[in-house]
Structure 1
């Protein structure tokens, strides 16, 4: 039976908890995947995905905060304006968050597997909202398994490749 060791990607790109959001966004733009394990030295401390970063630039409501008076704008007035997302300029949110460290946006409750975990366990974990599973061998990151890795391996196994 296939195991995590058989299907994992061994050359894992990672980021550090102090890396800036802007740097990680740039790295993601060049990558063929959409998330990074976050390592503090050799210790896995989180995972950051496109979803984590996109949430920085979305609000739950269409409310604009407009400062009034003279700087330092100690008062604000809330104007509830229904503006479509296509019309919003996300540059302000980007500027506000670009220097934020990844540790502030990463997911810290990371689901991991070990190299010996079988494909059934991988399928169980990847069948929900999880898209990638860091593979730890005695606490050290040795690979990552994605849905694509498992599907490709199952396809190859069925074809006898």
Structure 2
């Protein structure tokens, strides 16, 4: 199985000069956990929900960020993405074996890998993508084992 079979092709991205309120919006409303940072179409970093909450401080629950339960106005620390993003991003190609990508994620303790094809971002592979496939494979294996066991007991 290859990365291109598992990755998410629709990738939300940000730019280094974007304010982190854009990151907050994508994390909070689009439920995105990892955002590649592109500058002129080139991958220059990645920012995660953890990076965002670390930048916002210990009281960064949604009420504090939004200004309280009765406020609809967004109040986020005025920082730019470049101040919280991680550089030196580990990436994979679409044809990378999924097992190799999973190993990279485990070895480096990261939750997502941007997928680049000739330097262009074409997707992102997250731990959730890998777990989803693992779960399907395990369910199929269990179902097959159950059918075999039932076939043996009926003979």
Structure in which a larger fraction of residues adopt strand: 1
2:126 aligned residue: 146
1:127 is paired with a residue whose SS is helix
Determine the C-alpha separation between the residues in 2 that align with 1:51 and 1:39.
Answer: 19
1:135 aligned residue: 115
| 1:116 positional shift | 1.0
1:98 aligned residue: 77
Determine the C-alpha separation between the residues in 2 that align with 1:58 and 1:98.
Answer: 9
| 1:35 positional shift | 1.8
1:120 is paired with a residue whose SS is helix
- Highest RCO, 1 vs 2 (Cα 8 Å, sep ≥ 6): 1
2:86 aligned residue: 107
Matched, 1:39 2:19: no
How far does the alpha carbon of each residue in 1:111-155 deviate from its partner, in whole angstroms, 9 at most, with x for none?
A: 100011102111212224200000000000000000111121233
2:29 aligned residue: 30
Please say if residues 92 and 116 of structure 2, whose CA atoms lie closer than 8 Å, have aligned partners that are also in contact: yes
1:121 aligned residue: 100
Q: Which sections of structure 1, spanning at least 5 residues, go unmatched?
A: 60-84
Determine the C-alpha separation between the residues in 1 that align with 2:125 and 2:10.
Answer: 11
When the two chains are superposed, the root-mean-square deviation of aligned CA atoms in Å is 2.6
Determine the C-alpha separation between the residues in 1 that align with 2:103 and 2:37.
Answer: 23
Please say if residues 56 and 77 of structure 2, whose CA atoms lie closer than 8 Å, have aligned partners that are also in contact: no
1:58 aligned residue: 57
Structure in which a larger fraction of residues adopt helix: 2
Matched, 1:6 2:12: no
Provide TM-score, normalisation by structure 1.
Answer: 0.71
Please say if residues 26 and 32 of structure 2, whose CA atoms lie closer than 8 Å, have aligned partners that are also in contact: no
Provide TM-score, normalisation by structure 2.
Answer: 0.73
